[in-house]
Structure 1
Amino acid sequence: MESAPSVGRRHQFFGWTQSLLQALIPHQVMVCGAYQRHRRGVAFEVHHTLPLSAGTLQALCDAEGTLVRSVMAAWVAGRGRPLALPLSLLGEAAAALQTELNLGELLVHGVSRPQRPTEIETLFMFASPASSLPKTPLLGTLDLLLPQLHRTWLRGVSTELDLLRPAAPVTA
């Protein structure tokens, strides 16, 4: 965790999660979402070490899609606590994940926007195919790691948004 402050870009975040975080929260698929003011909503990205079909990638990134909206609603309904969300509860939206990746559940946690507990600031989803790890310790670990995940992901997103902005013209 001591290396988290040195992460400043999304690709560094991926490397950080695959090395240090992997030992604490084993996963092969991680979905990260952050509220973006200019979009007035949460934008999601998928980080994965498994091959994923284009349809699965789209479903995991689509903040307006049935799957992601169901996951967000479940996390909000759980009052912002970490949860192990069985994909069977998400119906048809999760059928492709269950079939393609042999997933049974997602570990989900996030941060709500200040003074708005039903609005998401950041949301993280973790999955591993056919994982038999006990979920209770993982949820506790995820809860402890959330502040670092939140800060580190937002720093990477913010840095890259700043790099995309055109430089101010130089006036003499």
Structure 2
Amino acid sequence: MDPVVILSRQEQEYLLCAIESGLRVAGPHQFFLWTQGQVQALLPHRVLVCLQFGHGGALARVECLHGTVLAPGAQQALTDLALRIARGGRLAAAIDAHEAPDGLGGEILRLGFDNVLAHGTGPTSAGGSVFLMFGLAARPTARHAYFLELLLPHLHLALGRLPVARTAVDGAPARALSARETEIIGWLRAGKSNDEVGRLLGISALTVKNHLQRIYRTLGVNNRAHALARCMDLRLLEQ
């Protein structure tokens, strides 16, 4: 039986404040201020990665929120790791990097964090969302997981209210993706790494990386997670 979590009076106040403030979130700036303000007060953390999935479990949106400057490439690495955790079914989990199995702990530590708190519905056929807090101020426990569980529906609804960004006035990219670029994006959508895509297509991982850089420029994004989300938004993978 799971232990009963009893909130202190201060925790109750923080929770109510976070819930009430979340109801008023209607735009990206408000979402950022809410997650870095009231949500932080209840669950102090360094980075929050929000993943939203569409029908069929396809990635539809990624938000990486943090109050400090990240090292170059860290945001992409974080979103990639968040996707692997979400697709791996490690949800409603408080992950201690020093104890996590299967190399997961090492990946978290290499990114400069000691822990991750993850919760959400996961990528299901009907969609869903997952929220991952990297670098909690204290070692995550079942108590922290319970707080995130209470906030989960409000995070999900607030994320769903955010407008979808477009790459141009009419929403179209600057040019159409080539057949090869579309093929590469399709494999990334399936969760393949650059090396795996290269082996599947008979090209080098460096060539895959070069294709990705062109894709990023075309879509106006700077990492693979955002590229996938933008492709889903523009329905480039449904043609």
Distance, in Å, in 1 between the alignment partners of 2:127 and 2:101 is 21
| Residue aligning to 2:142 | 136
Please give the residue correspondences for 1:76-155 in structure 2 after superposition, counting only pairs within 5 Å.
Answer: 76=89, 78=90, 80=91, 82-87=92-97, 88-89=100-101, 91=103, 95=106, 97-101=108-112, 103-112=113-122, 116=125, 121-128=128-135, 131-133=137-139, 135-155=141-161
Q: CA deviation at 1:125?
A: 0.5
CA 1:52/1:96 → structure 2, altered by over 3 Å: closer, same or farther? farther
Greater RCO (Cα-Cα under 8 Å, separation 6 or more): 1
Distance, in Å, in 1 between the alignment partners of 2:52 and 2:169 is 18
Distance, in Å, in 1 between the alignment partners of 2:169 and 2:53 is 18
The SS at the match of 2:121 is strand
Distance, in Å, in 2 between the alignment partners of 1:146 and 1:42 is 18
Q: CA deviation at 1:43?
A: 3.3
Output one character per residue of 1:143-167: Cα deviation in whole Å (capped at 9) or x when no partner.
Answer: 11100010011111xx2348x7749
Runs of 4+ aligned residues of structure 1 deviating over 6 Å after TM superposition are: none
The yes-or-no answer on 1:73 pairing with 2:87 is yes
Q: Contact (CA 8 Å) 1:84, 1:108: kept in 2 or not?
A: yes
The yes-or-no answer on 1:11 pairing with 2:29 is yes
Q: CA RMSD in A?
A: 3.1
TM-score (norm 1): 0.71
Which has more strand, going by share of residues?
1
CA 1:57/1:69 → structure 2, altered by over 3 Å: closer, same or farther? same
Distance, in Å, in 1 between the alignment partners of 2:84 and 2:111 is 19
Gaps of 5+ in 1: 168-172
Distance, in Å, in 2 between the alignment partners of 1:61 and 1:127 is 11
Gaps of 5+ in 2: 1-18, 172-239
Q: How many residues align?
A: 150
Q: CA deviation at 1:50?
A: 2.6
Output one character per residue of 1:91-139: Cα deviation in whole Å (capped at 9) or x when no partner.
Answer: 2x664641452x222000112467x4xx75111110226x334512111
TM-score (norm 2): 0.53
